[in-house]
């Protein structure tokens, strides 16, 4: 089977290379905003949506225009990818997966892409990569790049340049091994497994929230746009990047351990975006319990529930296991012993006590057991699931794979 995998490294460019990369990122941002403005103007005039191939003709005109001669200095393929990013943003909007596209601003998600593998050369032994109009770029070689290089993406984050190298390689069909497990995510415990074990959340932002607040106050006292303001802003960005890196490292280690030791993983199909929405309400309809909901939202986003599920899903697929997302309704209110469903079964956040049979246990553990039971039921019925082999499995094949 073929596997696509990205390898990300910190770049160590020269001063001239760093200057060019900022210029290329600015050119791609300009082209993206130009394409977005063209779409909005065309829509206001009563025209139809302009496809990415038609936008390509406009890109040629922009590169040859006397008003923007500096666009010709940027790699053409990188500019083409910027127009395709704008097209993809509109497609996501039409499919109701995202909001209406917004104009990009300098300093937010600066970067560019090299989609043509024939223009990329990799010297993994010496930690170098060659890309158009930049030549050989040194990067911090922390691990070997496996497979054939397909594309490369360069990005700027908190003052550091990164390169993400996408590769494709043939791997043997993995065979899942280990038991099935259900996972219940929560605030006190990041993940409670159906076997009784649990993972305590790192809460990286909560541990360090005083530090960014301190330097954000210092930045607020400086003149916006001044040199000292820019230095303070860079420091705040480095602190937030450190917090995010700690969170990602923790989630990768946790998801890697779980996916490696279990053949089937069942989780709740939580809509994290809706769960973490503000409760402030509008001016004419004020919300209630705003402060408590704000604290809950901060904890959910700090722990990275969505990212944890995303990592579990693709790592389980890599190892040939089965990933199931089950409906979350009443998972922590259903008694695993007698099946009684009632809100009275969970009078407190931590304790589950069935009002019918008297079964008592930790509420998160009960939820994980019910999640596992629902996941196994979906597999037994042959429902569509996320797996490393296909989107739909026969019941006998699934049972045999888990037993192996």
CA distance 336 to 184: 14
Q: Could you confirm whether 268 is annotated as catalytic?
A: yes
Q: Could you confirm whether 364 is annotated as catalytic?
A: yes
pLDDT band with cut points at 50, 70 and 90 for residue 279: confident
pTM of the model: 0.85
Instruction: Report the share of the chain in percent with pLDDT over 70.
Output: 93
- Residue 394, pLDDT score: 41
CA distances from 10 to 113, 133, 156, 162, 246 (A): 16, 19, 10, 5, 16
From the list 110, 313, 364, 373, the catalytic residue is 364
- Residue 282, pLDDT score: 65
Query: What tokens does 249 get?
Result: 């490292």
pLDDT (average), residues 55-79: 94
Strand 264-268 relative to strand 180-185, pairing: parallel
pLDDT (average), residues 73-98: 95
From the list 184, 302, 313, 373, the catalytic residue is 184
Provide the residue ranges of all domains of the chain, joining segments of one domain with +.
2-170, 180-403
Instruction: Report the share of the chain in percent with pLDDT over 90.
Output: 68
Q: What is the pLDDT of residues 205-238, one digit of tens each?
A: 999 999 999 999 999 999 999 999 999 999 999 9
- Residue 84, pLDDT score: 95
From the list 87, 110, 268, 302, the catalytic residue is 268
CA distances from 360 to 69, 188, 332, 333, 345 (A): 72, 19, 12, 12, 9
CA distance 323 to 267: 8
Contact 10, 155 (CB under 8 A): no
Minimum mean pLDDT among 14-18, 230-234, 333-337: which range?
Answer: 333-337
Contact 160, 10 (CB under 8 A): yes
Q: At residue 141, does pLDDT exceed 50?
A: yes
pLDDT band with cut points at 50, 70 and 90 for residue 383: low
Contact 166, 150 (CB under 8 A): yes
Largest CA distance in the chain: 81
């Amino acid at each position: 089977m073929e596997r696509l995998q990205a390898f990300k490294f910190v770049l160590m460019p020269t001063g001239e290379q760093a200057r060019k990369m900022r210029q290329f990122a600015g050119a791609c941002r300009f082209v993206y905003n130009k394409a977005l403005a063209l779409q909005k103007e065309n829509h206001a005039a009563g025209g139809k949506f302009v496809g990415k191939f038609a936008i390509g003709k406009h890109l040629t005109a922009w590169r040859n225009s006397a008003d923007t001669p500096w666009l010709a200095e940027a790699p053409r393929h990188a500019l083409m990818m910027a127009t395709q990013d704008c097209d993809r943003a509109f497609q996501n909007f039409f499919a109701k997966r995202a909001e209406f596209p917004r104009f990009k601003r300098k300093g937010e998600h600066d970067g560019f892409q090299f989609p043509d593998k024939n223009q990329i050369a990799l010297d993994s032994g010496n930690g170098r990569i060659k890309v158009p109009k930049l030549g050989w770029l040194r990067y911090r070689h922390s691990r070997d790049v496996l497979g054939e290089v397909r594309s490369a993406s360069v990005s700027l984050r908190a003052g550091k340049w990164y390169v993400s190298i996408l590769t494709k390689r043939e791997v043997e069909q993995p065979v899942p091994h280990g038991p099935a497990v259900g996972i219940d995510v929560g605030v006190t415990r990041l993940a409670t497994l159906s076997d009784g074990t649990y993972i305590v959340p790192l809460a990286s932002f909560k541990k360090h929230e005083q530090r960014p607040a301190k330097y954000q106050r210092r930045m607020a006292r400086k003149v916006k746009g001044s040199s000292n303001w820019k230095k303070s802003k860079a420091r705040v960005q480095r602190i937030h990047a450190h917090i995010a890196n700690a969170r990602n490292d923790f989630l990768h280690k946790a998801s890697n351990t779980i996916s490696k030791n279990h053949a089937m993983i069942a989780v709740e199909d939580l809509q994290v975006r809706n769960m973490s929405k503000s409760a402030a309400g509008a001016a004419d309809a004020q919300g209630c319990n705003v402060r408590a909901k704000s604290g809950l939202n901060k904890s959910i986003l700090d722990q990275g529930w969505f990212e944890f599920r995303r990592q579990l899903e693709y790592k389980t697929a890599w190892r040939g296991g089965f990933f199931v997302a089950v409906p979350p309704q009443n998972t922590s209110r259903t008694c695993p012993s007698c099946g009684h469903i009632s809100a009275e079964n969970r009078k407190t956040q931590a304790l589950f006590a069935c009002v019918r049979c008297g079964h008592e246990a930790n509420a998160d553990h009960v939820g994980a057991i019910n999640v596992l039971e629902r996941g196994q039921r979906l597999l037994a019925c042959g429902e569509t699931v996320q797996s490393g082999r296909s989107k739909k499995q026969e019941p006998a094949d699934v049972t045999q794979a888990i037993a192996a």
